[in-house]
């Protein structure tokens, strides 16, 4: 296992700055995700690590080795692409063996290593089949086996599941995590799918305009976003502008158009000043519909449009001109009437306080 260290990486395409001084460290054996909106720089960063794009400034280390100027084929990484990049005229085994043949591995070893790689992705016994005879999920497993068979120092994945249907994506998420951890691989994974990142990553970095907006575990990034961009990109949320009225230990009291709210700063290193403008981020699933009024973090309103999804209902919760998204688990829609006032309450630890500027 190796670490991957990225220090002050800058990449320009003409007047466009794709990466603006990006620095991060991926620990040995870590499954690390890069995500963010289109054009944020995540694919450019992956291509720089792979050796397909050379940075204008900064450096990339694999362990203690500086690989910044090494061509891609000398970095000894495995790569999985969005398009699979499998050859239809070759068998499964021949596709997997291709990288070993390019590296001039002795023929006596190739068959054993191909069989081992196919078993690791649950494709043992399929080596004789043609690519056109496989399902999309099976083709992706072959692509994964081909990346693993060369025993790479690191595995790089560029939106590998985007061409699969929803059921296969969920299946392959778990398979990729299992294989990476069993093989003790350091992996860097690019995706635009937040659920994918939340469900299988060890840590993630959210990029915005070529810079890192936040690094953390899935729970840290989802529950404590540090900027509006992160809160808005990872999952759904409600934004409420307000003004700070008081600070007490780790809690901040904020006056909003919907009443007084108490919450916690998303960035633990930042404390807003009394009287300053802030933005509240409250996830829809954090609200609780109830009958008892509370002095803070409570809003009186009425249910508008609702979408029933079985295990939950997605409500429009209306307070005057303000509309909030409220998710109700195990919903009982028959008890909700558009003519009745309803109270919605949220815990202080679920109210995240952000700077009002989306790019602080």
Q: What is the pLDDT of residue 337?
A: 60
95-128 pLDDT, tens digit each? 999 989 988 899 889 999 999 999 999 899 899 9
Q: What is the pLDDT of residue 339?
A: 65
Q: Would residue 126 be called left, alpha or beta, if left means φ above 0 and alpha means ψ between -120 and 50 degrees?
A: alpha
Q: What is the pLDDT of residue 172?
A: 85
240-272 pLDDT, tens digit each? 999 999 998 889 999 999 999 999 999 999 999
CB 166 within 8 A of CB 195: no
Q: What is the pLDDT of residue 333?
A: 59
| Model confidence band, residue 360 (pLDDT cutoffs 50, 70, 90) | very low
Residue ranges per domain, the chain?
4-228, 229-354
- Is residue 13's pLDDT more than 70? yes
- The number of helices, as runs of H, and strands, as runs of E, in the chain is 8, 20
Q: What is the pLDDT of residue 81?
A: 83
CATH architecture of residue range(s) 229-354 = Beta Barrel (2.40)
Burial of 264 (0-12, 13-18, 19+ CB in 10 A): middle
| Among the listed residues 119, 66, 73, the one whose alpha carbon sits nearest the alpha carbon of residue 92 | 119
Task: Check for a shared fold between 4-228 and 229-354.
Answer: no
- This prediction has a pTM of 0.89
- Is residue 303's pLDDT more than 50? yes
Burial of 247 (0-12, 13-18, 19+ CB in 10 A): middle
Q: CATH for 4-228?
A: 3.40.50.300
For 223-245, give one letter per residue: b (16+ CB within 10 A) or e: bbbbbbbbbebbbebbebebebe
Average pLDDT score, the chain? 91
| Model confidence band, residue 336 (pLDDT cutoffs 50, 70, 90) | low
Q: Residue 117 carries which DSSP code?
A: H
| Among the listed residues 231, 317, 318, the one whose alpha carbon sits nearest the alpha carbon of residue 278 | 231
Helix, strand, coil in percent for the chain, rounding step 5: 30, 35, 35
| Dihedral pair phi/psi, residue 248, rounded to 5° | -140, 105
Say how far residue 67 (Cα) sits from the centre of its chain. 26
- Is residue 320's pLDDT more than 50? yes
- Is residue 335's pLDDT more than 80? no
137-172 pLDDT, tens digit each? 899 899 999 999 999 999 999 988 887 888 888 888
70-96 pLDDT, tens digit each? 999 899 999 888 777 889 999 999 999
- Average of per-residue pLDDT across 316-345: 82
Q: Which two tokens stand for residue 276?
A: 């300053």
What are the residues whose beta carbons fall under 8 Å from the beta carbon of 235, sequence distance 6 or more?
194, 198, 222, 283
């Amino acid at each position: 296992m190796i670490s991957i260290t990225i220090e002050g990486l800058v990449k320009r395409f003409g007047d466009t700055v794709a990466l603006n001084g990006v620095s991060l460290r991926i620990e040995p054996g870590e499954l690390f995700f890069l995500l963010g909106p289109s054009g944020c720089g995540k694919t450019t960063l992956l291509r720089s690590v792979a050796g397909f794009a050379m940075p204008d400034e900064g450096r990339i280390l694999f362990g203690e080795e500086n690989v910044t100027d090494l061509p891609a084929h000398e970095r000894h990484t495995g790569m999985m692409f969005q398009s699979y990049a499998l050859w239809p005229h070759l068998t499964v085994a021949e596709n997997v063996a291709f990288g070993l043949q390019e590296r001039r591995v002795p023929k006596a070893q190739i068959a054993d290593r191909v069989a081992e790689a196919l078993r690791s992705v649950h494709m043992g016994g399929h080596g004789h089949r043609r690519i056109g005879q496989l399902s999309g999920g099976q083709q992706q497993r072959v692509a994964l086996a081909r990346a693993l068979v060369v025993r790479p120092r690191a595995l790089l994945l560029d939106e590998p599941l985007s061409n699969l249907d929803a059921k296969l994506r969920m299946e392959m998420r778990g398979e990729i995590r299992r294989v990476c951890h069993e093989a003790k691989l350091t992996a860097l994974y690019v995706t635009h799918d937040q659920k994918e990142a939340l469900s299988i990553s060890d840590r993630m970095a959210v990029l915005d305009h070529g810079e890192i907006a936040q690094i953390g575990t899935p729970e840290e990034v989802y529950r404590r976003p540090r900027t509006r961009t992160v809160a808005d990109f990872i999952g759904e949320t409600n934004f409420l502008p307000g003004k700070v009225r008081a600070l007490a230990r780790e809690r901040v009291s904020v006056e909003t158009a919907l009443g007084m709210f108490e919450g916690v700063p998303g960035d633990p290193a930042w404390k807003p000043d009394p009287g300053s403008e802030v933005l509240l981020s409250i996830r829809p699933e954090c609200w609780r519909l109830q009958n008892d009024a509370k002095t803070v973090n409570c809003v009186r309103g009425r249910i508008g449009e609702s979408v029933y999804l079985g295990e939950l209902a997605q409500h429009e919760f209306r307070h005057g001109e303000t509309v909030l998204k409220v998710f109700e688990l195990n919903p009982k829609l028959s008890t909700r009437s558009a003519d009745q006032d309803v109270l919605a309450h949220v815990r202080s630890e679920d109210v995240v306080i952000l700077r009002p500027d989306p790019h602080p």
